[in-house]
Amino acid sequence: MGTIHHHHHHHQPSSFPTKKLITGALYALLPLALLRVYLFSIPLNQPKLTNNTQTQETSSPSIPSSQAAEGVEQRHSPRSPRCDYSDGRWVPDSRGPRYNGTSCSTIKDGQNCMAHGRPDAGYLYWRWQPNQCQLPGFDPVSFLQLIQNEHLAFVGDSMARNQVESLLCLLSTATPPDLVHRDGQENKFRRWVFHDYNATISVFWCPFLVKGIEKSAASGLNHNKLYLDSPDERWASELDRMDMVVFSVGHWFLHPAIYYENELVLGCHHCPESNHTEIGFFDVFRRAFKTTLKVASSRYWSSPASSEKLVVVTTFSPAQFEGEWDKFGACPKKEPYKEGEKEMEYMDAEMRKIEVEEVAAAAKEAAESGGRLRIEALDVTKLALLRPDGHPGPYMYPNPFADGIKEKVQNDCVHWCLPGPIDTWNEILMEMIRRWKEKSS
C-alpha cells in the first residue's frame, strides 16, 4: 500500500473569521502496516509543519506567562507560593537521567532510543528551570508517599501512555511496579500496583476522551466517529475509583472524522466523499474537553466518598517533523532550541489555548461549588516545543543505520525517548500533587 498524499484546507468554524488558518496543510497518510508498529496511535495525518503553512498574521500568539487556571487557587495556599512551571528555559544539567534503557523494563520498544542505538547522549543532560521557582528533581519515594493508598490514572492517547511509562521508570528506581491488570491488545489498558505503598497507577486508551469509534480495518471505517456529548465510558465508568486523573489527548483530533451531537451529525473534518459540512477540529476539540471536564466534575461530586480529587490536563505536545516522516533527517536536532529561536505553529498554540481555557472555566466552576475538586493544566506545550532533540526519530526501530545511512527511514518525531524530556512532565506533576495535598490537608 503506497503513501497517499492529501492536499486540503482546514475550514474552521466561523468563530475564527480573521484567521487564515494553516492553508493547505499537507497531510500524509501512513500505511496501515506502519501504524501497527507506530504506537497504534500516531495520527495517520501528521500536519507538515513548514513555514508556509501559516500566513503572517497568524504567527503564533506568545504563551501568557500565567496560567488562567491557577488564578482561583492563589489565595488558598499560604505554604507554597504558586509557580507557573510553563514559564522557564532548558538549562544544561550534568546529572543526566535517573534511569536507562536496561534498568527500566516498562519502556515501550519504540521509545527506547539508547537500546536502539541512538549515538548522541547530549539530549539527556538538560533540565527545565522555571523562571519563578525551583523545580526539584524527581524523588520516587516522595512521589509514592504522595499517592499512598490512592489511584492515579492516565487517560488519553499514546502521549498519555508515553507519560505513564516515563513515570513508571522514574518510580521503579525506588521499587518495582507490579502489573496487576492488562486488557486489550497493544497494552491499551493496564494497571500497576506499588505494593509497599498500596499505590495504583493505570493507563486508559481513550484518544478522544469522548465516545468515539476509531477508524480501522475492524470497524471498516476510513474516518473516526466522535459523539461529542458523551464521555468515553471506558474511563468515565471507573472515575469513582480514581483519586487523581491525568487527561492527555490531541493528535487524534487531526484525523478525518464525522462528529455527532444528540445523535445528529454536527459536521466533519476532511471528509470530501461525504456531503457533511467541514467544520475543522478546533471547536470539536473544545467541545470534547467541555464534556470531559463536566462529566468528571459531576460524577466526582455524586460519588459517595467525599474525598478530594485532582484532575490534570497535560497540554498538547507538538509534532516536530522538519521533513517527510519517512525520509532521513525528519527530526535531526541534537539539542534544545534557544529561547525565541522557534516560533510556535498556529495550530499547536490554538490546541494548547483551548485546553488551558477549558481548564480555567471548569476550575472556576469547581471552586465555586465547594472546592473538593481541583482542576489544573500541566502546561507543557512550550517545554515540548523547545525539545526537538528528544524524539526517537529513526531510533523508533533498532539500529536503523546498521548497514549505513539510508534515505528511506521511518521517523517518530511526536513521542519522546525514555529517558527524555517527558520525564520533566512528571517532575512538574509531582509538584502539582504535592501542592494539592498541602492545600487539602
Catalytic annotation present for 178: no
Q: Are 146 and 434 in contact (CB under 8 A)?
A: yes
Peptide bond into 419 cis (omega under 30): yes
DSSP 223: S
Taking residue 405's Cβ as centre, other Cβ atoms within 10 Å add up to 10
CA distance 207 to 157: 4
CA distance 358 to 304: 26
Taking residue 205's Cβ as centre, other Cβ atoms within 10 Å add up to 24
Using DSSP, state whether 326 is helix, strand or coil.
coil
Indicate the length of the chain as a whole number. 441
- Tell me which of 158, 166, 202, 317 is the catalytic residue: 158
What contacts 300, CB < 8 A, 6 or more positions away?
239, 240, 309, 311, 372, 373
The H or E element containing residue 92 is strand 88-92
- Tell me which of 157, 243, 348, 412 is the catalytic residue: 412
CA distance 383 to 376: 17
Q: Are 28 and 327 in contact (CB under 8 A)?
A: no
Using DSSP, state whether 381 is helix, strand or coil.
helix
267: phi > 0 → left, psi -120 to 50 → alpha, else beta; which?
A: left
CA distance 401 to 395: 9
CA distance 210 to 226: 7
Q: Which of 33, 181, 86 is nearest to 432 (CA)?
A: 86
- Tell me which of 10, 151, 251, 415 is the catalytic residue: 415
Catalytic annotation present for 158: yes
Helix axes 346-368, 282-302, angle to 10 degrees: 20
Taking residue 87's Cβ as centre, other Cβ atoms within 10 Å add up to 17
- Catalytically active residues are 158, 412, 415
